Structure 1
Amino acid sequence: MATLAGWVRKRHALPEHEIDHDLRKLDIARIAIGAFATGRYGLILSLALSNGSYDIVLVAGVATGLSLLVMLGVATPVALLLLMSSANILIDNALGASTLGTMVLSIALLLFLLAPAGRTLSIDSLLHKGNGTFAWGVDAMYRFFGSVSADRILIAKLAALLAYYCLCLYSISWHIHDEAWTSGLVINWVLLSPASNPHFVDLAWDAYQAAPWFFVNFCRLAIVGMAFWYVLLLPGLFLGAIVRYFIILWGIAFFLISTFVLPLSYLGWYELIFWFAVFATGPVFGSNETKKLSVLFDDRCNLCDRTVKTLSWFDIFGRLVFMPIHRNMVTAEKFGVSLEEGLTDLVGIEEATGKRYDGYRLYETVAARVFLLWPAWPVLWLGRKLWIGPAVYRFIADRRTRLFGVCEFSTIPDKFSRFGHSKNIDPQSGAPAYSAAIHAVLVTLVVLSTAFLLRLPTFTTAADEIAPGRWAASAFGAAPLGFGIGKINVFNESDLALFTLRFSATMQPSLDMPEGNVLTKPLSSPHLFNMSDRQRYFIIKHARRMSRMNLGCDMDFWRDVSPMYVESLLTAVQVVPYADLVVTIGKVSWPSAKDLESYTALSPDVYDLCHGRIDIETGNLISLEFDQNGVDRALRRMELPEFLKSDSVLVALNYPCLADAGWLNTLIDTDGELLRQSEFVASSRELLVSRYGEFQINCLFRTIAIMQAQPDLDLYIQRNASPSLCQAGVALVEALAEAATPDKNLYESVGALRTSALEAQERGETNLCIRSAASARQLYFEHILKPESYNVWQQRTANSR
C-alpha cells in the first residue's frame, strides 16, 4: 500500500493536505452526504407513515436511521459500512427506488469508510475525548477499523475512484452501441425535451432556433468530451496536469448540470459532494500554511471576544490565528498597526506578504478564506458595493463597549486557533492503519471490480451471456452493488421515447358531483404532489416501458401508477371533496436526426395524447380517454395512416395479432386460388413471425395494409366451408371478445357472435361458424377505424366485387 500511495503522491494524481485538514474536509462531505441521504429516506418514511405502508416504514426507517448516524458521526464506520453495503442491494430494492444516485452514495460512503472519516467533526470524536465507557467503545471501534495515515487517505480516494470508474466504463460501453450517442445527437434531444430539461428547455429551443449549426455541433463536442472523460477518469489523473485538470473541471461541469438542469433527484448532489471530498484543494482547505491570516483584536471588549470565539468555530481548517492586541504589540508594530487602531477595529495581517485588512474589509476577507463562511461572502461583498455594510459596521464598532461592555482580560489564549491537532487521528497503540477489516474491504473491492469489468458490454450487449461475463455474473451476481458498482444505461436511445412524454395534472370535479356543488379549489401541478424518489421512480419505470410501446399511452401504465399518484398527493389535496385527479400525458415532438444533421431550425410541437381520471379516495383508475388530435399526431410520427378513432384506441391496442394471423393464413391454406397469389401469401405469412420490438399497433396496421391490398377477401371467406377455418374463426372470435373488454357495447356484440360461432361449430354448421367469426372481425375493425377510413376500405371492397 505504501508503494501505491507513494506512486500516487509522486504523480500528483490526487491532492493532499495535512492529515487534520484532509479528515475535516472528508467529515464535511460525510455530514453533507448524510444530510441528503437522511432527507431522501426521511421523505419516503414520512409519506409511508401517512399512507400506512408499514413494510415501507420499516425499511425507510432503518435507512433514515443509518443516514442520521452517518451525518452525526455516531458509530461512524459501522454506520458507513451498513449503509454502503445495503443501500443498493437491500434498501432501494425493497423501496422500489433504485437509482444511479444511490450507487454514487455507496461509492462516497466507501471513501469515508476507508479514509477513515468521522475522526474529527463527529459525536464519536467528542466521546473519544472522555474516559468512560463510551470513550472505551469508540477507541475499540477505532482500533478495529484501523488508524489514520496519509497513505491510507490517498488509497481511500483511489479506491472510491476505481468504483466510480467502473460505472463510467459500463456507461461508455453501452453508449458505443447506441446510435443516438454515436451520431452525437443525443444531447440535442436531451436539452430540447421538457422531460429531461424541465427548467431550461425554452432557453435550449431559443438557442437551437437562433443558431442550429452552433447548437448541434456544441452538443456533438459535448458528446466527444463525455466519451474522453469516461475513459480517462482514473488513468488520466496520472497523465499530467492538463489531463488531470480536464477530468476535474469536466466532472464539476457535468455534476452541476446533473444537479441544476437534469431532473436526476439526488444524483448531482451526491456526485458534487464526492468530487469535493476527493479533489477539493487550495489554501482555503489548509494547503498553504504560509497564507494564514493573523487577526489582532481588542482583548478587553466583550463583543470582540464573542466575535473571535464565533469565528473560531467556523475556521475548521485553521486559516485564522487570533492574537490579543495587548499581548502582541511587537507584531502589531512590525506591520504598522498602532494600539489605537487595534482597539478600534479587528485587524487582519497576512504575515507572509504584509497585507493588512481592517474592519469591514477584514470580515469580507475572512468570509472568502474560511470555507464554512463562503455563503456570507456575497452578502458582505454586496454590502460593501452598496455602502450599507461598512456603515452598519462602523455604527456598531464605535459603540461596541457601550452596547456590550468591557472585560478585564480576555480568556482567549495567545495565537488561538480552535481546531488544532486532534488526538483522534493519532495511531492507537498496536492498531495498524490497514486493519484486517480494512484489508478485507479493499480485497473485496478489487475482486468485485474485476468481476464487474469482465461483464462490460464493450463488444456485445449480451456480455452476461458469454464467457467471461457469464462466469462473473454466475459467481458474483449483484454483489458489486455493495460498493455502488452496478449496471447503468441512461440517456440512450431507449430513453428518448420517455423524453417525448410530458405529464401534467389537475384536480377536476368528479363525475358524480352533486348538482349545485363546485370545486372550491381548482388545483394543478406542481401544487398537487409531494413525491419521494420511491413514487417518482416507480412512475418513471412504468412510463419508460409505456413510452416505447404502441402510441405511448396504455391501460397497463395507468392501472399500475394510479395508486402511486394518489399516495403522493399532498394531504390538503387528498381531502378536496367531489374531486378527481386527472393526469394528462402529452407528446413533445423534436427535430429528427435528419433535421439536426441538416441544421434545420424547427419550432417545438406539443400535443395532448391521453387523460387518466383517478379516484383520489380509492386510487383506482376511473377512465382513460384519448385525444383525437393526439392519436393522429402519434400515428403520423410513427409513419402510420391516421385511421384510428380516439374513443376506440384501447380496443385497438388489444388487437389479437396472432389469432387474426392464424385466421388469415388458414383462409389461404384452404383456398387454392389465394395460395397462388404469392405476394399476398408472403405478407400474410409474415404476420405469424414474431418480430422483436413490434407491438400490437404495428401488427394491426400491417394487417390493414394486407387487407387493403386484397379488397375482395370477403368473397373468399363467403365461399369457404372448411372446418379448419371454422376452428381458426372460433379462436379469433374468442380473442376479439377479450380485446373488446374496454368497450361494453362492443364486448356484448362480439360476445353474441362468439356464442353463435361456438354453437354453430358444435352443430357442425361450418358456414355459420365462419360467417359469425367474419362478422365479429368486421365489427371489430368497423369499431376501431374512423368512418371515412373504413368506408373507403369498404368501397374498394364493393368495387372489387
Structure 2
Amino acid sequence: MWTLSVWFLGSLAACLLLVKLLPWLRDLMSTFAGSMAPRAFPSNSAFEHNKFALLRVLFGLILFARGLDVYGLLLDSERFSAVGLWAGAEMLAGALLALGLLTQWVLVFLVGAMWQYGDFVVAKSTLGNDIGAILAVLLLLVNAGKHLSLDSALLKRLPNLHWPLLYYSGVPGREIIFYAKFTALASYWAVCVYSIAIHLNEPAWMDGSAGPLLLSNNFMAVWHEQFSAVFTSSAVAVGLAKGSLWMMMLWYPAVLPFVLLGGWFRLYVIVWGWLFFALSMFFLQLGYLAEIEVLLWLALFWSVSGLDRRQPLEVLYDDRCNLCDRTVQAVTLLDIFGRVNLRPLSKNKPLLDEIGLGMEQALTDLYGVDGQSRKLFRGYDFYVQLSRTLVLLWPLLPLLLLGRLLWVGPRIYRFVAERRTRLFGVCALPRSKFFRSASVEESRSSLPQAVTLHVCLLILFYFAAVPAPYIGWNGLPNLGARLAHIYGITPIDVFNKTDLRMAENWFVLDSVDFHERVPLFAEDGSRLSMHASDRLYFGHTLRFRRAVIGKAGCYFESWRPLFEYMSRIYLQQRGAEAGDYDFRYRQFNQPLVSAEDIARNQFKSVAPEVICALDYKIVYRK
C-alpha cells in the first residue's frame, strides 16, 4: 500500500510540476475548459460553490448512515477491533463532512485510506465506494467544505488556516469547476467503458436475458415477485426489459463524448442517467450506490432549478414590523444561491407604483414579485412561492401545498398576519440583513489542472488493462491502472452471469426459541433487515450465494461459521441472555429461467426446492 501511495503522490507531483513549468500546457487546458464548459456544464449561478457545499452535507449524511448500519450490526467483541475502528472511522468521517469540519482532510482520508484499505478490513468493498471516491475528488477540488460549514466559521476568525486546512484562497471559478466536473465525468465514463467491454463478452447481455433476469432476481431486485409475474404474463414486458438493457449498452460509451458535444446528445446522457439511477434506487438493492450516483449527477448537471439567478424573487416587506423583519432575516440566511432581492417598503415606493400596489395594502402582508413575469404573490401564496424559489425550503413545499389544498394554511397565516404587530411588536431600527456577495475573488490554484491531467493519464493506463476477449485482447495489468483505482476508476463487472445466478441458491435461518425468522433471507430468497449492513451483505451472504453457484448438496457444515456468526448477531440485537439457543437451517435452490425461453420472450419460472433442513445449537456468551 505504501509503495502504491508513493507512486501516486509522485506522479501527481510530476503533473503539478508540468502544469506550473509548461505555459503552453496550461493554455491548452484553459482553452479546452473555456470551449467545453458552456456546452458540457452550463451554469448561471454565481453561487455554485454553495451547491457543492449542500451536496457535501448530503454525502456526509449518507456515509454516516451507512457507517451506522455497519457499526450497529457488529458483535460487541468487534466494536474495538480493527473492524469496529474502521467502521467507526467512516461514521465519524460522514459526520465531519456533514458539519464541514476538517473537510479536505476527511475527503483525503476517505479516498486514500478508508476506501483503499479500511473497507477490506470491514469486508464491505463495493462499487459504491469507487463512485464515492469520484464524488469526493470533485468535492475536494471545488473546496466544498469552505462554505456552509464549520470550516468557514474557522476561516473567518483565522484566515491563516487556509493552507493547514488544505483550502486555496477565494472561491472556485468556472475554470476550476470545469476541471472538477470533467475529472469526475471522465472517471465515471472510464468505469462505464470497462463495464461495456466486459458485457460485450457476456452472453446474457448480448442476448438481452440479463434484463428480465436482473429485475426478477430475488437477491438484488426489490420487486422481484411482481416483475416475475409481469414477465410470465407478458411477452412484451420481456422484450422491453431486453431492449432497455441494449439501450444501456449504448449509453455506457456515450457518457463523456455526448456531454462534451452538448445539446440533445448531452440531454440524452443526463436523462438516461436519471432513469438508470431511479431503477437502481427504487427497484434494485445495491447498497448506497444509487444514492451516491444521484449526488454525483447533481454535482455535474444541476445548474438551473433553484440556482438560476435570472429567475429572482423580489420580496416586499414591512421593515418596521418585527415579525416581517425576522422572517426576512431568515430568508437571507436560507437564500444560499442569491435568488431573493429584498425590497423594504420604506425605500421602494416606485416599485409599489410599478406593480399597482398601495402602501396601505402593502403593509398588510408580505409580497413577492417574480423577477421575470412580474407576477405578484401575497400572504400565504408568497410563502408557497418562496418555498419554490429557495432550495433549502423545498422540503416544506409539499406541506404548504397541502395546507393550501385543505384551506388550513391560509387561515393560520391570516390569523397571525392580522395580529403581527400586536404579537411581535414594532422595530424602530430594522436589523441589518445578511448579504451574500457574488463578487468574491476567484481562486488561481493549479491543483485542479494537475489532478485533471493526472486522471487523464491514468485513464490511458487503465484502458490498457481493459480486457476485450471478443477482439483477442486480454488486457495488460499495469501500475497506472492500480493508481487509477485511488480516484475510483475501478475494474467493474456487475450484473454478470455470476451476479444473476446468485438468485439460484439461498438459506433461511429460524430461531427455535423465539419462534421467528432471523432477518437475513425470506422464504423466497429476498433480503431482510440485517442486510442494511453492507458488511453483512458484501462480506458474508453475497460470498455464500456466489460460492455455491452450480454446486449440488447441502453446504451447512462448510459454511457453519457464517451461520453461527449471523445467529450471534441476531441474538445480540434481540437482547438475548447468555445461554444455549437452537436454530433451524434450510437451504433452497431455484434454477434461473432459461436463456432460450427469454430469447422467445417467454418467462417460465421454476419452483424452488428445499435442498436440506437441519437444526444446530449456538452457545451465546455476552
Structure 2 length-normalised TM: 0.87
Q: Which amino acid aligns with 2:461?
A: A
- Aligned counterpart for 2:331 among listed residues 305, 308, 311: 311
CA deviations on 1:591-627 (whole Å, 9 max, x unpaired) are 32222233335466344334464544459xxxxxxxx
Selected match of 1:78 from 88, 95, 105 = 105
Confirm whether residue 89 of structure 1 aligns to residue 109 of structure 2.
no
Which of 608, 611, 614 is residue 609 of structure 1 equivalent to? 611
Tell me the CA shift for residue 31 of structure 1: 1.4
Question: Which residue is equivalent to 1:4?
Answer: 32
Alignment partners' CA distance in 1, 2:396 and 2:140: 32
1:396-411 equivalences under 5 Å are 396-411=416-431
- Structure 1's 455 and 461: CA in aligned 2 closer, same or farther, altered over 3 A? farther
Equivalent position of 1:546 in the other structure: 547
Partner of 2:137: 110
Equivalents in 2 of 1:291, 1:612: separation in Å? 67
Q: 2:386 aligns with which of 354, 358, 366?
A: 366
Helix, strand or coil for the counterpart of 1:605?
coil
- After superposition, residues 432-511 of structure 1 pair within 5 angstroms as 432-435=444-447, 438=448, 440-459=450-469, 469-470=475-476, 473-476=477-480, 478-509=482-513
Give the match's secondary structure for 1:118: helix
User: Structure 1 344/35 Cα, relative in aligned 2: closer, same or farther at 3 Å?
Assistant: same
- Structure 1 letter corresponding to 2:142: A
State the aligned residue count: 584
Q: For 2:371 and 2:478, how far apart are their aligned partners in 1?
A: 63
Equivalent in the alignment of 1:356 = 376
Q: Structure 2: any 5+ residue segments left out of the alignment?
A: 1-28, 521-527
1:566 maps to what in 2? 567
Which structure carries more relative contact order (alpha carbon 8 Å, separation 6+)? 2
Match of 2:365 in 1: 345
Q: Does 1:208 align with 2:231?
A: yes
Give the distance between the partners of 1:484 and 1:584, measured in 2 at CA.
Answer: 39
1:349 partner amino acid: V
Q: 1:144 to 1:357 in 2, by over 3 A?
A: closer
Indicate the SS of the match to 1:357: strand
1:70 touches 1:76 (CA, 8 Å); kept in 2?
yes
- CA shift in 2, pair 1:144/1:300, >3 Å: closer
Q: Does 1:225 align with 2:250?
A: no
Mapped contact 1:147–1:434 kept (Cα < 8 A): no
Q: Which amino acid aligns with 2:391?
A: F
Query: Which aligned pairs between 1:382-397 and structure 2 lie closer than 5 A?
Result: 382-397=402-417
Helix, strand or coil for the counterpart of 1:129?
A: helix
Aligned counterpart in structure 2 of residue 38 of structure 1, from 64, 67, 71: 64
1:598 aligns with 2:600: yes
Alpha-carbon displacement from aligned partner over 1:6-53 (angstroms, at most 9, x marks no partner)? 12125x0122234x4211111111111122112222443454473334
Q: Could you say which residue in structure 1 is the equivalent of 2:197?
A: 173
Q: How does 1:7-156 map to 2 (within 5 A)?
A: 7-10=35-38, 12-18=39-45, 20-48=46-74, 50-53=76-79, 54-130=81-157, 132=158, 135-138=159-162, 141=165, 148-156=172-180
Give the direction of change, closer, same or farther, for the CA distance of 1:145–1:181 in structure 2 (3 Å limit).
farther
Maintained 8 Å contact 1:120/1:422? no
What amino acid is aligned across from residue 172 of structure 2 in structure 1?
A: V
Paired residue secondary structure (2:363):
helix
CA contact (8 A) 1:539 1:564 kept: no
How far 1:574 sits from its partner (Å)? 4.8
Q: Rg larger in 1 or in 2? A: 1
Flag structure 1 segments of 5+ consecutive residues without an equivalent. 510-518, 620-801
CA distance in 1: counterparts of 2:331 and 2:613, whole angstroms: 57
Q: Name the SS for the 1:126 alignment partner.
A: helix
Shift of 1:350: 1.5
Deviates more, 1:345-354 or 1:595-604: 595-604
Aligned counterparts of 1:406 and 1:570: Cα–Cα separation in 2:
62
Q: What's 2:284 paired with?
A: 262
Query: What CA distance in whole angstroms lies between the structure 2 residues aligned with 1:105 and 1:166?
Result: 15
Query: Aligned partner of 1:28: which letter?
Result: L
Pair 1:145–1:421, CA change in 2 (3 A): closer
Q: Aligned partner of 1:400: which letter?
A: R
Contact between 1:293 and 1:349, CA under 8 Å: does it hold in 2? yes
Change (3 A) 1:259 1:601: closer
Contact 1:49 1:57 in 2 (8 A): no
* 1:493 shift after superposition: 1.2
Q: Could you say what the CA RMSD is over the residues aligned between the two structures, in angstroms? A: 2.8
Verify the 8 A CA contact 1:297 1:324 in the aligned structure 2. Answer: yes
Identity %: 29
Q: Give TM-score, length-normalised by structure 1.
A: 0.68
Rounded Cα–Cα distance in structure 2 between residues aligned with 1:616 and 1:349: 69
Of the three residues 505, 519, 529, the one matched with 1:525 is: 519
SS at match of 2:259: helix
Task: Write the distance in 1 (CA, Å) between the matches of 2:292 and 2:541.
Answer: 21
SS of match in other structure, 2:360: helix
Distance in 1 between the 2:386 and 2:198 partners?
48
- Contact 1:508 1:582 (8 Å CA) reproduced: yes
